[in-house]
Structures are given as structure tokens and as C-alpha cells.
Structure 1
Amino acid sequence: MSEAVEYDVVVLGGGPAGENVVDRTCAAGLSTALVESELVGGECSYWACIPSKALLRPALARADGRRVPGLAGAVGGPLDTAAVFTHRDYWTGHWKDDGQADWLESVGAHLLRGHGRLDGPRRVVVTGPEGEHHVLAARHAVVVATGSRAVIPPLPGIAGARPWTSREATSARQAPGRLLIVGGSVVAAEMATAWQALGSRVTVLARGPRLLPRMEPFAGELVAEALREAGAVVRTGVSAEAVVRDGGSGPVRVVLEGGEIVEGDELLMATGRAPRTEDLGLDTVGLMPGDWIEVDDSCRSEAHEWLYAVGDVNHRALLTHQGKYQARIAGAAIAARAAGTAAAADTGPWGAHAATADVRALPQAVFTDPEAAAVGPTLAEAERAGHRVRAVDFDLGKVSGAGLYADGYRGRARMVVDLDREVLLGATFVGPGAAELVHAATIAVAGEVPIGRLWHAVPAFPTISEIWLRLLEAYRG
């Protein structure tokens, strides 16, 4: 084993969270090494957020165009799938990370390609592409930013069926004739929207009573209604018991509880995520391989003062924008502690170096047709947390800006108000273009803006944002 090379900070994982830690620590003058086993840029850049939105944008634009007088007749045909895939490939950099690697070099970081594992406190061993080993020692911090992976449940027959995960669903080169999707959350809903628009006959098989189970019930109901209108089959309350695919090719059959068989040409398992920590050497520092890493509000491990975890791997919020937010917090915290200016941090939350948005002001946008976006708790979650709340609903289609946006605009909005403090706790918007509404709600929730003050944040007319005025009017009665 070679002699250890010292850095101030060693980051395991080069996705958006890891990159943002590097940006902050390098800017603070800390020598930083980043270890990546695949592509710098991570899941989001190549197999999740970026390619999925590239596939979805043409579908949503066509759906919007079909609702606009004077344009509807011009967008009635099928999508140019070759052009859509070319657009997707451009945004993924054709699955090459040269630009990302160049950026790392420009900020002064050292990139090591290979698989990194902890080897005791502050020590990382990297196995390179040719089997060579590098030993790194961290003076101040090791940051785990290895993200999460798709979970495929151990159904009988699943191993030989070669199911898609989100990776295959976002990188496929052609639309399968029939696509079965097991699951009902964001990946299932978005990929059903994309592939139905790209020409597949989609069947969604969700175990729960509705799609998008972590949002307000009406979100999943409206998305399912639109998918059915587009030609997809959406079934809720059904459980997959086994999968059959002879020889790993040909049609794939999903056996449902009760014996019913549903057949397709490809199967996407959209059934959750697990942390990528199973082969990270956590056992060498007294942690359990395969577990999420618990952290405090500065994203520092509760077990070791030198160990940090950002992004999916800490299980606070499995969203790219939240991982980047946590990374900025952690990078600033590491820099402050390295400089000896953050002693007070160890006793509790400390301003700019404490993550709070991933707990109470967590925004999310789902790029289905209609779009669904939310921040903060749902009504049910707020009630379970013990808040005295009131939900205010309004039909988004009755807002002037929505009617001008599209004929027959269908959507709904809800705000959840804390009655004791008269501030917004949460908000949900469902409708075409609704994802652009969520940041205003995020500001109101994060800033605890009093309802009385929101009256003076006047929405421009005629925009869909006029929904704020209508919600406030409904609240006042």
C-alpha cells in the first residue's frame, strides 16, 4: 500500500452535492480531493433530473400547444423521437464528463477516478480503473456524497427479467411498444408521462391508493386522470408478486396478487431508493454498511466530528437541489471549523452553517402533465405534527392567467395555514406550468411571512400567479 497523500478535505462522490462541497472548500483555500467511480456530475446529470426533463419537455410543450387556440392543429402529430433523443443526449454531454472534470481542475480540486472506501478515521483508499491503489488522508474532513441507487424488490423471477430502473428509463434509445411501470411515485409518474408521449403504451401498476403519495391527494388524482386521457392505463391498489421473462428477452409478464398477469415489452421498477453505502468502508469507523448516514444540521456525522454526509446519502431530502443546498452548508461549516472560527457550532444551530430548508421548507416539482409542485407539509402531515391548521383550496382554472395560458385549463391549488401564527406552512399547485409557482411559496414558508403581509405581495395580472390573491381571499372569507 502506498504512502498516504494528505488533503484538507476528501470528498467521496462527484455528483451535484459532492461538486458543491468541492466548490466551497476550494474557495476557502482548503486542498480538496474528489473521488468518483463513474461520471463526474453524478446521477442527476446523466440518469435522472437532466435527461428526464429533456425527455419530458417536448411532451409538456406539445400538451400545452394542443390547448392553445390557433396552435392546436399544428401540434397534433407524434413527437419526433429522434430529435427528442438527440436533445436528451446533448444535455447529458453524451454521457461524457470532460466538461465537469475541467471545471474541477479550474477550481483547484484533484480528481481521482476509482472506487473510494474509508479505511479508518480520516483515511480513504481508492481503487483505480486498473486496480491500482491510492491512499488519501484528510486533515479536516471526509465528505460522503455517494447518493442513492434504485431499489428492485426481490420478486420471484426479477433477476432474469432485466428490468429497467430510472437509469434505463432516462437513457433508452427507443420507445418500447408496451412499457409496464411498477410504482406510483415521482419516477413512475414522470416516466409514464414521457414514454406515453414518445409512443409507448404505458401501464402503471401502483401498490398505493393513488399516484404521488407524498403530495396532497388531489395531485396524484389529477396526474392519473391526465395519463388515462393520454392513453395510459393507471391501476392503483395492485401488488406485483412475480415477474416472468423467458430467457431474459421477449415479452415480460408481471404476476399480480390474485394471479392476474399483465404483459409488456419492458418493465420499469420505480420502487424506491437506497443509500450507496454498502461498499464504502463504513464498518471501519463503526458504522453500518448499507445504512443512511445520520447527520446534524451542519451535515456532520453524529458519530464522528471529521465525517460529513450530504445529499441523498443522509436521507434528509432525496432531491438534487436539497443536496446542493446541504453541500453549501457543509462546505462552509468545514471551512469555518478548519479556520477555528466555529466553536459555537458544536452547541446548536448556527446561522448560515445550519441546514433548515430540507426540514420545513422543502420544495419539489414533478414534471408530469399537469405539473405538480409543493413545499412544506401537506394538510395531513401538518395535522399529524400537532399544528392547528386550515387548508384553503382554489380551482386554478378560474384564475384569469390560467385561462389565457390554455383552453380548458385544469388545476388546483392549496395552501396550509398555521392558525396560531397566521403564517404559511405549506402549499401545493397542480396544473400546466405550475412548477414555476412553487418558489414564491418557498419564500413565504422559509421566511415565515405573515398572511397579512402576503396581501401586499401583489401578483402581476394576468398571470397564473394571481392564484395567490384568490387563495388569500378564500382564507379571509
Structure 2
Amino acid sequence: MDDVSRNYDVVVIGAGPVGENVAERARTGGLSTVIVESELVGGECSYWACMPSKALLRPALARADARRLPGLAGAVAGPLDAPAVLARRDVFTSNWKDDGQVGWLDSVDVDLVRGHGRLDGPRKVTVTTPDGDTVRLTARHAVAVCTGTTAALPPLAGLDNVRPWTSREATSAKEVPGRLLVVGGGVVAVEMATAWQALGSEVTMLVRGSGLLPRMEPFAGEMVADSMRAAGVDIRFGVSMASVTREGGPEDQIRAVLDDGATLTADEILFATGRHPHTGDIGLETVGLTPGDWLTVDDTLRVTDVEDGWLYAVGDVNHRALLTHQGKYQGRIAGAAIAARARGEVLDDAPWGAHVATADTAAVPQVVFTDPEVAAVGLSLEEAEQAGRRVRAVDYDLGNVAGAALYGDDYRGKARMVVDLDAGVLAGVTFVGPGVGELLYSATVAVSAQVPVTRLWHAVPAYPTISEIWLRLLETFRG
């Protein structure tokens, strides 16, 4: 076995979208950069999350839209072609091959070391390659941990023998299960329940709380639940799992017992019950940190509990905003900050400066790809009130907007903007309805740029589009 040593300005652990952005920004800043990856270059988003899940959901949502249009509804009355949907999903994951992503790293002059990377003291990373060789990397300026998260499973006895689905299995499954149990009520749970029900599964959702999408405006979860039930999903609130077993034999069925004594059987069970930081075996103990913990960072993404400021934690691993696009944003910020510090420059670290991740706390956008879609940015009404801001919620029925009525008959949706009455700007915006995901960037600009409500009157929405909701919200606010 070989043992080699290499020196770089920056070492990045984790070649998902976050690590790629850190590496590219650091390299653009003139720093020699290497990235370490133990699985596929491109990470969770490319192969087991964003891309495959949205590829599975798109046919379901397109069919739902088509069914709202007379003259088209009859043409899409039948079931989805499940093999074709799964084959298209496979295309979007590049059939779980990362040649294209590796080619991109080459194009931006970032080196790649495949293997399991672990911190080995300040500015040092030791990589065990698939062949058993050891590569010792030393960073002159910074090491960035971009290892993301893994699925959190409940402490149920014998769960490993059940072979449960997590988000990975749910997005990469090769066949449609006849019956699927989904445990959880958050984004992964509702999206995967939507996708697999549309593909032909009999889906039952088991939700510990009293509603879906608990971190969003209450009406969002209520409207999604109503639509899912109308589509045939059995949603049970206020229940927990007492035990689960896989019975084996020819049927190989799952048997789940709930805390209320009810028993359910299924072919597969998906646990969408949260995420853990992927930091258990990356050598945190060698730099005075606790393995398995989230990594606390400042607004330039530097780990606060490590001396000399050489360690960065970017993306989900710092628990600021567990979203791919937000992690990529952090990656751009961190890479630029690393390069600026290496050049001895003064950082632009004022709020909304080039080297601080201000949007993590002020303007985080998210789309939930269900029918109806949910799109939100900034604070909910409850969050704004808890923050002590004097706010007013302005609501409007999206179905009363001309563009929405043209989008599909019996359009059901709702919009809310939360206005900070003292600052005269928007604290948050939420849209629920078919196609509203494409409205979100305008809301993100309004919230992040702190556009005065009086100025928004002069941003004229085109008629007849769904974006006319902005005019209706502003009219309602003025009264």
C-alpha cells in the first residue's frame, strides 16, 4: 500500500454541490484546491435527493395540471407509465455515474482524491482510498467540511432487519411498491408520498404531529393534506410507531404496530423523520470537536470552536439552512472568504456583504413540489411575531387571480405576505397553489433586498399571469 503526501492551499471534504462551490470559488480566487469524496462526485442532491425526487414528481404534477383543463383532461385520464418515469429519473441521475461531475472539476482545475477523508490535526486531512492507500493532505490556508447529513432513524428494535427506506431508497427504487408506509410529515414525506401514490402505490402517511409541513404557514400543510387525501393518500395524524417487523416468506411484508394499537401491513416503509450531521467519522476529535455534532460557524462559515480560523463548515453540516441551494450559496460565500483571507484582504463582512451568509437568517427560499406546490421565503407570521416584530399578515385567494384561473379550472391556492409595519418591508412571503414555485424568486428579491412596500407598487406584474397576485396582495394591504 502506498502512502503519499500533498500540499494545497485549500482542502475540501465532500464533493457535493456545496463542496464543489467552495472549491470552485477558492480556485477562482487563485488558491490551489483539492476535494475529497468517498462516494459519487455531485453528492446527495444529484443522485438521491433533489434531482431524482423532482424527476419522479414532475410527471405527477404535469398530469394534475392537465386534468384541470377541459379539452386535455380526457387525454391524461389513465395511469402514469411508471417504467418510463423511472427511466427518466435514471437519466437525471446519470444512472448513478459521476463522469460528468468529475469532468467539471477538471474544467475548473480542482484536484479530486477519492476515498474517506478524516481530519488529522490542524490543517491536515488523511484519506483512505478505495484501494487501501493513504493520501495525506495538508492545507496552507483552510479545510472546509462539506459532508452534509444522513437520514435520522427512530430507535425501534430490529429496524435494520426491516430494511427500511430512507430518502435514498425512496428516490432510487427500481419498482413501484404496492403499499407504502411513509413515517413523517415534513418535506421529504409529502413529496415522496405524492410521487409514489401517483405512480400507483397505495400510500399511508403516519404523522406524529397535528399537521403537515409544520415549519411553514399552517394553511400550507392543510391545503396539501386536503389534496393528498383527495388523491387517495391515507393520512393519520397524532400517531407514532410502536414496533415494525418484516415477516419474510414469499410475501416479505412489513407489519407496523402503532401506539394506538392499530396494525398496518405494507411492502415498504419510508422513514422521513429528520437528518443527522454526517460528522461521526471525519476526525473531529483530532481538533478538539465532538464527533457526530453539528458544527457551529460564524457568518463567514468559519467554525467558531477551532483556534486560528482555518476550519470551515459549509452546507447542511452547520445546521443553518438544510437546503441544497442555500448550501451552494454558503459555498460561494465561504470560498470567497477563504480566498480573501489568504490574500490578506479586509473582508466585506457587514450584513449582505460579499463574505457573509446573511440570507441564512433573513431570506431562505424553499419550494415543496406537491400538488399544490408550496413556495415560501423569509419568516412565517408566527416566526415574525416570535422575533418581536410588529407585523401584519396579508392574505389573498390565488384562485381569484385571472392568471391562476387560466392556469387551470377550479384553481385552489392562497398567498400570504408578512409585512413589517415599522420597516415598511416584507418579512416573509408564502404561496400555495399549482405552479407557484416560479413566483418564489420575485419574493426572494423583495425580502432579501428589503424593497419598500411603497416601491413594490411600481413593480407591475404582467396580465394575465399568476404573478398578478402581487398587485392583489398590495391592494389588500392598502385597503
TM-score normalised to structure 1 length: 0.98
Deviation string for 1:269-302 (max 9, x for gaps)? 0000011000010000000100011111111111
Deviation string for 1:301-327 (max 9, x for gaps)? 112300001110010000000000000
Partner of 1:308: 312
1:80-119 to 2 correspondence within 5 Å?
A: 80-119=81-120
Letter in 2 for 1:332: A
CA distance in 2, matches of 1:251, 1:225: 29
Partner of 2:477: 475
CA distance in 1, matches of 2:464, 2:423: 31
Report if aligned partners of 2:352, 2:358 keep a CA contact under 8 Å in 1: no
CA distance in 1, matches of 2:293, 2:225: 33
Letter in 1 for 2:111: H
CA distance in 2, matches of 1:254, 1:33: 46
Report if aligned partners of 1:393, 1:413 keep a CA contact under 8 Å in 2: yes
Partner of 1:358: 360
2:56 equivalent to 1:52: no
Partner of 1:243: 244
Of the three residues 247, 252, 255, the one matched with 2:254 is 252
Report if aligned partners of 1:333, 1:342 keep a CA contact under 8 Å in 2: no
CA distance in 2, matches of 1:278, 1:392: 45
Partner of 2:176: 175
Partner of 1:276: 278
CA distance in 1, matches of 2:360, 2:264: 39
Report if aligned partners of 1:206, 1:236 keep a CA contact under 8 Å in 2: yes
Letter in 2 for 1:27: T
Report if aligned partners of 2:417, 2:430 keep a CA contact under 8 Å in 1: yes
* Structure 1 residues 394 and 9: CA distance shift in structure 2, 3 A: same
Partner of 2:221: 220
CA distance in 2, matches of 1:224, 1:258: 21
Partner of 2:26: 25
CA distance in 1, matches of 2:477, 2:256: 47
- Provide the aligned C-alpha RMSD in A: 1.2
Of the three residues 323, 331, 334, the one matched with 1:330 is 334
Unaligned runs of 5+ in 1: none
2:39 equivalent to 1:35: no
Report if aligned partners of 2:352, 2:359 keep a CA contact under 8 Å in 1: no
Report if aligned partners of 1:156, 1:241 keep a CA contact under 8 Å in 2: no
Report if aligned partners of 1:252, 1:265 keep a CA contact under 8 Å in 2: yes
SS at match of 2:228: helix
Report if aligned partners of 1:297, 1:349 keep a CA contact under 8 Å in 2: no
| CA deviation after TM superposition for structure 1 residue 157, in Å | 3.1
| CA deviation after TM superposition for structure 1 residue 4, in Å | 2.9
CA distance in 2, matches of 1:201, 1:434: 27
Partner of 1:4: 5
Deviation string for 1:385-433 (max 9, x for gaps)? 1011110111110101000000000011111011111110001000000
Letter in 2 for 1:279: D
Of the three residues 286, 289, 311, the one matched with 1:287 is 289
Report if aligned partners of 2:337, 2:347 keep a CA contact under 8 Å in 1: no
Letter in 1 for 2:246: R
Q: Which runs of 4+ in 1 moved over 6 A?
A: none
Unaligned runs of 5+ in 2: none
| CA deviation after TM superposition for structure 1 residue 342, in Å | 2.6
* Structure 1 residues 421 and 87: CA distance shift in structure 2, 3 A: same
Report if aligned partners of 1:25, 1:32 keep a CA contact under 8 Å in 2: yes
Identity %: 67
SS at match of 1:352: coil
SS at match of 1:226: helix
Report if aligned partners of 2:247, 2:255 keep a CA contact under 8 Å in 1: no
Letter in 2 for 1:188: A
CA distance in 2, matches of 1:349, 1:226: 40
Of the three residues 395, 398, 401, the one matched with 1:399 is 401
1:379-390 to 2 correspondence within 5 Å?
A: 379-390=381-392
